[in-house]
């Protein structure tokens, strides 16, 4: 196997931000990391907890992968990346165990499972190993921020429809201050279990993707309307064959 030197692809900070948050959103466009996305978004606090843990791992792994990008041969890069990601996941797990023990217990197996989140390995392989440290860090941060945003929206949606509340148990992350944050939007709400169960997450994610596509097509339309129109009466250029 030939050792291909990583091709350089530098992107501006603006582009990285846009891609991570919207254009190439990990959850809505790449559809990666669906397992945690669907499994733990039953409430805002779960979504936030797992989202932050994923962020720590993704920023850390992108940085580390970028730092060692000249020393790891291509043929063994994936095991190396997985080792790095696993180390950061273990760190995140131990940190959660130390500081947010109840949340750690609620999220359970899904914290170690961050290792298997395809977004993280995907970013390491597609971006971090070809780019310097700073862009890699920024990419990791923005990608995980986009992922976190979708997690929180989906968590809020499911908590609201499933239990009629928002921000329950936020004290698991923010301490006793957050105990009063819980908002009960519908008193006497009969729990709508479908939203809390995994199928509800699939439907919710589908709706979010639909909304995103709708917004995108609206933007496209406005762009097309803004584009210059040919002057009325101008001759059509006749094209035969292709130019190449």
Residues of the shown chain interacting with other proteins in the complex, contacts defined by CB under 8 A: 190, 192-195, 197, 203
Nearer to other proteins, 43 or 117 (CB): 43
Alpha helical stretches, state H, 68-196 = 77-99, 101-107, 118-126, 133-163, 171-174, 193-196
Task: Provide the minimum distance between the beta carbon of 205 and other proteins in the complex, in angstroms, as a whole number.
Answer: 14
Which residue carries 């929180």 as its tokens? 152
* Rg of the chain (C-alpha set): 22
Task: Provide the minimum distance between the beta carbon of 211 and other proteins in the complex, in angstroms, as a whole number.
Answer: 13
Nearer to other proteins, 190 or 233 (CB): 190
Nearer to other proteins, 13 or 193 (CB): 193
Nearer to other proteins, 28 or 52 (CB): 28
Q: Taking phi first (over 0 means left), then psi (-120 to 50 degrees means alpha), and beta for anything else, what does residue 106 get?
A: alpha
Task: Provide the minimum distance between the beta carbon of 209 and other proteins in the complex, in angstroms, as a whole number.
Answer: 12
Task: Provide the minimum distance between the beta carbon of 127 and other proteins in the complex, in angstroms, as a whole number.
Answer: 35
Task: Provide the minimum distance between the beta carbon of 158 and other proteins in the complex, in angstroms, as a whole number.
Answer: 12
Integer Cα distance of 138 and 145 in angstroms: 10
Integer Cα distance of 90 and 42 in angstroms: 24
Instruction: List, in order, residues 6 or more apart from 50 with CB less than 8 Å away.
Output: 36, 40, 107, 110, 111, 114, 151
Nearer to other proteins, 17 or 163 (CB): 163
Q: CA torsion sign, 76 to 81 to 86 to 87?
A: positive
């Amino acid at each position: 196997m030939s050792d291909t030197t990583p091709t350089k692809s530098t992107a501006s900070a603006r582009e990285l931000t846009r891609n991570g948050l919207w254009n190439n959103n990990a959850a809505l466009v790449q559809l990666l990391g669906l397992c945690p996305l669907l499994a733990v978004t039953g409430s805002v606090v779960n979504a936030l907890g797992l989202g932050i843990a994923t962020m720590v791992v993704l920023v850390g792994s992108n940085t580390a992968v970028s730092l060692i990008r000249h020393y790891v041969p291509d043929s063994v890069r994936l095991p190396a990346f997985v080792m790095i990601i696993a180390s950061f996941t273990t760190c995140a797990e131990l940190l959660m165990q130390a500081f947010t023990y109840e949340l750690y217990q609620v999220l359970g197996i899904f914290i170690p499972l961050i290792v298997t989140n395809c977004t993280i390995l995907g970013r390491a392989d597609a971006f971090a190993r070809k780019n310097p440290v700073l862009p890699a860090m920024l990419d990791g941060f923005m990608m995980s921020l986009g992922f976190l945003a979708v997690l929180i929206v989906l968590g809020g949606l499911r908590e609201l429809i499933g239990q009629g509340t928002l921000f329950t148990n936020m004290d698991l992350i923010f301490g006793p201050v957050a105990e009063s944050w819980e908002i009960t939007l519908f008193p006497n709400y009969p729990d709508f279990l479908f939203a809390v169960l995994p199928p509800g997450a699939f439907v919710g994610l589908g709706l979010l993707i639909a909304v995103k596509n709708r917004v995108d097509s609206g933007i496209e339309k406005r762009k097309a309307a803004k584009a210059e129109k040919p002057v009325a009466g101008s001759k059509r250029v006749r094209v035969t064959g292709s130019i190449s």
